[in-house]
Amino acid sequence: MNCISLIDGKTNVFGIIGNPVEHSFSPVLQNTIACELGHDNIYVPFCVKEKQEIQAAINGAYSLGIMGMNITIPYKKEVMEFLCETDILAEQIGAVNTLKRTDKGYKGYNTDIIGLRKSLEVRNIIVEGKTVIITGAGGAANSAAILAANGKAKKIYIVNRTVDNAAKLAERVSDFYDIEVNAMGYNEIMSITNPDILIQTTSVGMGLTKGKSPVEDTGIFKKIEAVLDIIYTPWETRFLSDAKKAGCTVINGFDMLVYQGIASYEIWNDIVIGKQQTEKIRDILVECYTQGSK
């Protein structure tokens, strides 16, 4: 990335705050976009070790003139009280992953929801009028549930190991949208009638749970049009291979990662990156990621 040799006092600085951040793909993603577009921008990872340091980190970043930041685990909620404004969808989700510098401070956005929406849209998978199942009830499930509700799904089913957590998320969605939202455990998943889309948001299938799937009853896939697994390492989880065998359209989480990053870049720079350029950037990043993970 030879653009980095051109850094000077006019270069716009962006970054990501989280813990850990060493393995984050976002620096590669954001610096690739800047290089592709020929922008004088640089993006750097910043590890904030303790929750108590978040306010100082945000204030310090503002004083240093940092133009925008991504926020990752575990600070997506915590950071919200230190912002001057929060976008409405991020407010509904209850988490931000993108901060944009304004005259008054940083404004928070959630581009995970944009990444998810775009991953479906580019494959012509429409949420409107559909029955959407979401597995998991954590941070990523919040984005998926608000995406489904905001996209005018017909019904939403939140399926989770801890049913109480699913019920809390269902309640949160109902606070903002007039839509049928149901909460249940995995033992009830086969009772869902005419499901169309399943968004898998748990961490099951990666790391120590590689080879496992949260959805053991694969009969459900026979009823479904498309599934998205938020995981992209491994590239194809057991969940996705089970769904593929049953004939579903399958999508892994890498497109979500790329499209949320592109959406952050667009917000920070007040631009819209065209379809052709978006797909070119996506292809470069897929190549880069799959080569790097071999």
Segment 123-142, which members bind ligand NAP (CB under 6 A)?
136-141
Q: Which of 31, 70, 201, 264 binds ligand NAP (CB under 6 A)?
A: 201
Q: Residues 10, 49, 76, 118: which is the catalytic one?
A: 76
With respect to ligand NAP, which residue has the nearer C-beta, 138 or 211? 138
Looking at the Cβ atoms of 139 and 151, the one nearer to ligand NAP is: 139
Indicate if 245 belongs to the active site. Answer: no
Number of residues that bind ligand NAP (CB under 6 A): 26
Six-digit token string for 279: 């797909």
C-beta closer to ligand NAP: residue 39 or 161: 161
Q: Is 203 in the site for ligand NAP (CB under 6 A)?
A: yes
In the list 18, 96, 112, 158, the residue contacting ligand NAP (rule: CB under 6 A) is 112
Nearest-angstrom CA–CA distance, 115 and 216: 27
Nearer to ligand NAP, 15 or 214 (CB): 214
Shortest distance in whole angstroms from residue 235 CB to ligand NAP: 12
Q: Please, which of residues 224-253 interact with ligand NAP by CB under 6 A?
A: 230-232, 253
Q: Considering only residues 96, 206, 215, 250, which one is a binding residue for ligand NAP as defined by CB under 6 A?
A: 206
Residue nearest to ligand NAP (CB): 138
SS3 assignment for the chain: CHHHHHCCCCCEEEEEEECCCCCCCHHHHHHHHHHHHCCCEEEEEEECCCHHHHHHHHHHHHHCCCCEEEECCCCCCHHHHHCCEECHHHHHHCCCCEEEECCCCEEEECCHHHHHHHHHHCCCCCCCCCEEEEECCCHHHHHHHHHHHHCCCCEEEEECCCHHHHHHHHHHHHHHCCCEEEEECHHHHHHCCCCCEEEECCCECEHHHCCCCCCCCHHHHHHCCEEEECCCCCCCCHHHHHHHHCCCEEECCHHHHHHHHHHHHHHHHCCCCCHHHHHHHHHHHHHHHHHHCC
Between CA 240 and CA 229 the distance in angstroms is 7
Complex with ligand NAP: residue 93 or 204, whichever CB lies closer: 204
Instruction: State the binding string over 147-186 for ligand NAP (x if CB under 6 A, else -).
Output: -------------xxx--x---------------------
Specify which residues 134 forms β-bridges with.
158, 199
**Dist CA 153 CA 156 (whole Å):** 7
Asked if 12 interacts with ligand NAP (CB under 6 A), we say no
Q: Which is nearer to ligand NAP, 15 or 253 (CB)?
A: 253
The interface with ligand NAP within residues 23-52 (CB under 6 A) comprises none
Query: Which are the catalytic amino acids?
Result: 76
User: What is the contact surface with ligand NAP in residues (CB under 6 A)?
Assistant: 112, 115, 136-141, 160-162, 165, 201-204, 206, 209, 214, 230-232, 253, 256-257, 260
